[in-house]
Chains A and B, each alone.
Chain A
Amino acid sequence: MSTTMKNHVPRLTGLQFATMITSGYVALGLFYFPREAITAAHRSAPWSILLDGLVTFALMHLLFRMNRLAPHLPLSSLSPLLFGRPIAFVLSLYAMVYHLLLAIAVVVLFSFVLGNIFLPDTPIWAIDAAMVATALYMAWHGTVGLGRTIQAVYIPVALLSMLTFLATVSLIRYPILLLPSSHVAVWPVLIGAERQYATFLGFELMVTLYPEIAPDQRPRAEHYTYLGLALVLTMFLIMYEIIISSFGPALTAQLRWPIVSMMRILSVSGFFIDKFGLLVVVLWTILITSFLSVRLWCLGQDATALLPGKHPTSFRLVLLVGAFIVVVSGIALPNAKIVDLLMERYLIPFGLAYLITVPSLVLLAATLRRSTVKRIQTESSSSP
């Protein structure tokens, strides 16, 4: 269960790690993509999306550098050695709140999509609870089980979604909009990038997950994670192009969930399911439960690192408490508009602050305390 448990052998493969990381950030911004970027940057939105991708790449690079300092230790175990317990406690708390907020945001967003489109008579709490319970079940049996489950379900659904989305090419009506605007206004592009960043926000779980990779798989894991980012970025750019050149920028900015709207108007004649896009949207439940399960798993890992004893029961207790908080918070948020507002005002700045500050602080501390880092590395290489 916990990384620091006795006889724990990290066994995640590179592909499992990369899939878990990718599943941990794509789902959140999927629904309202690319509304925020287009609202702020209009036809310069591709530059905002590309900027988001570049920032994510840079921050991933920074996090991997941080992880390589002590690859066998999660941040919750490394930070007390570098900063002392009080600061380490604050950092762990920050990470836990981060996981919880992302989980709440994704549950609320998707439950409103499902409730609005497919299940108008089902109470939102029931949708929330069903998704969280499934995610809880997935996270319950530890890292490798979770990794395998996500690898088995996430990749096929992601591929099916991509292929389905490519089918919407037939809906393109304004090819001129495929080209980004030649008049690039820097400030709107930056605003668009910031507001759209929720799409990439969740990859911080690599901090918690990195020690779980089998040592010989680490270079491959990093490679696959970057590859995953490149694929996600490419797919988002294609999605943007299709949406803007079908709906036009004005209507896209008015749609609550542009991608869902796009999938809904896709009709495959001759196929036994007429509204094939709708089926894919329902299958996205798998993406959401994957996202949720890795969040809960990370929450469990970070929390148990703070608790004495490191018993599997503690991990599962944290999972249960975390799941309960997610469901209750999901019910407490009245509508999708409020979630949009909270994400824009608080969650994105909160997440970006974590992603920039934590690796920068750790790397700075590691530079200043070279002997401590060396000692940790020596201890780890000598330990069984």
Chain B
Amino acid sequence: MTTSNLLIRITLMMGLTLSLSACWDNRPINDRMLVLSMGFDPAHKAHQYQVTFQAPTPSATASSDAGGGSSGSSGMEVFDVKGTGPDLAATFSQAQAQVSKDLFLGQLILLAISTKLPPGELASIMNSLTRIGTLDKTPFVIATNQSATQVLEHTSPQARFPCFYFLTLFSCPTCQTDSLGVRLWQFLSREATPGVDAFLPVVSTAPQGFTTDTVALYRKYRYVTTLSPKETQIFGILEGISHKANFYFPRWQADIRAVSGGSHLSTAVIHGKVHATINLRLTATLASIGSVTEDAQELSMVAQAASKRITDDARRLIKKTQALDVDPLGIGRMLSWQHPRSYAQYLPWHQEYPKVDVTVHCTVTINKMGDIK
């Protein structure tokens, strides 16, 4: 190979390397405002909503640490810009006009949604979010009965930015009573799938941070209700996402904790009626009991009582959802997967769901009892 040929080749290779480096999109991080959280609240005008874009301040970005640090002591850690409009693009333009940097949505961690948001607006928001190319579908989504902005602006001593609190919380399923974290794609999957309704963890502010022990049920982007903490615990068991549920039995002064295990849902159509069976096989830890050394009979009775309690509570919860026409357990979805032809006869599913005969079988096994004989 001649020298000139070699030079041409080297030049070409360098040119190709540069052209493939995507430097066109190169934007220094200092020129970007990385939005970590977005909050969605209803606006005063009909068919409009308010969006809060929350980003860390430049000084907080420079010294950010997801793992710890406390807020408040060193001034403002995050700041908000807000926009109101009929669609996400309009609110984004308003927000962009208020900042000197490029508002970047590719690093979103948290989406907070007010339960007061009308279904049309929520559907529009979700549709717009999924069209943002740089935004993957992994941010966690939370609902709140308060204002979403209020939740985002609330601080916790456990995390520097509010979104990091939820990132830590939801990224560790076993750290919660129920693994309530819902990512955007999981929410979208439920909304897209016939025969199942979506749920979101409900967050409320507390003096020392946040409380997350309830879920909001949605039917096609319409907020339906918020379950109580006790119902949420049962919902977690039925969904198979329970990790630290606990129950107290005054008769034996017994407390069981860490109730968790699999939940198996199956459906059948018998004589034209839809039947659903939920089998729960749970394990639990004995947290305390009246006698110092428990006997096998006592344990068996506590386990049986726990099984009965969970079964009864589950039946009550299912009846409540049937009364509300909302199917968060996905009985319709399971019917469509197991018996697609039968499912097609029961459309629209929300009219059929209240009539479904649901059976719950629950077996609790106490397999950990501590170190006392």
Q: Is the CB of B134 within 8 A of A134?
A: no
Q: Is the CB of B16 within 8 A of A264?
A: no
Distance of A250 Cα from B134 Cα, bound (Å): 23
Q: Is B193 an interface residue when CB atoms closer than 8 A count as contact?
A: yes
Q: Is B183 an interface residue when CB atoms closer than 8 A count as contact?
A: yes
Q: How many residues of A contact B (CB 8 A)?
A: 37
Q: Is the CB of B24 within 8 A of A121?
A: yes
Q: Of B24, B137, B194, which contacts A122 at CB under 8 A?
A: B24
Q: Is the CB of B20 within 8 A of A247?
A: no
Contacts across chains A and B counted by CB atoms under 8 Å: 80
- The chain A residue sitting closest to B194, CB to CB, is A250
Instruction: Select the stretch in B184-192, B243-251, B314-322 that faces chain A.
Output: B184-192
Which residues of A258-300 are within 8 A (CB) of B?
A: 261, 264-265, 267, 269, 275, 278, 285
- The chain A residue sitting closest to B184, CB to CB, is A265
Give the residues in chain A near B337, CB-CB below 8 Å. 43, 174, 176-177
Give the residues in chain B near A133, CB-CB below 8 Å. 15-16, 19
Q: Is B174 an interface residue when CB atoms closer than 8 A count as contact?
A: no
In the complex, how many angstroms separate the beta carbon of B326 from the nearest chain A beta carbon?
Answer: 18
Q: A118-B25, A134-B16 are in contact. List 5 more A-B contacts (CB 8 A).
A: A42-B340, A122-B24, A130-B16, A130-B20, A251-B192
Q: Is the CB of A119 within 8 A of B16?
A: no
Most A Cβ at <10 Å: residue of B15, B186, B333, B341: B186
Q: Is B211 an interface residue when CB atoms closer than 8 A count as contact?
A: no
Q: Is the CB of B192 within 8 A of A137?
A: no
B contact residues, range: 20 to 34
Which residues of A177-231 are within 8 A (CB) of B?
A: 177, 181, 183
Give the residues in chain B near A267, CB-CB below 8 Å. 138
Q: Of B24, B25, B137, B333, which contacts A265 at CB under 8 A?
A: B137
Q: Is the CB of A264 within 8 A of B133?
A: no
Which 4 pairs across A and B sit closest by C-beta, in order of nearness?
A: A116-B133, A130-B19, A122-B24, A264-B136
Q: Is A27 an interface residue when CB atoms closer than 8 A count as contact?
A: no
- The chain A residue sitting closest to B330, CB to CB, is A174
Q: Of A137, A261, A265, A285, which contacts B183 at CB under 8 A?
A: A265
Distance of A88 Cα from B349 Cα, bound (Å): 59
Q: Is B338 an interface residue when CB atoms closer than 8 A count as contact?
A: yes
Q: Is A356 an interface residue when CB atoms closer than 8 A count as contact?
A: no
Q: Is the CB of B137 within 8 A of A121?
A: no
Q: Is the CB of A265 within 8 A of B138?
A: yes
Q: Is A105 an interface residue when CB atoms closer than 8 A count as contact?
A: no
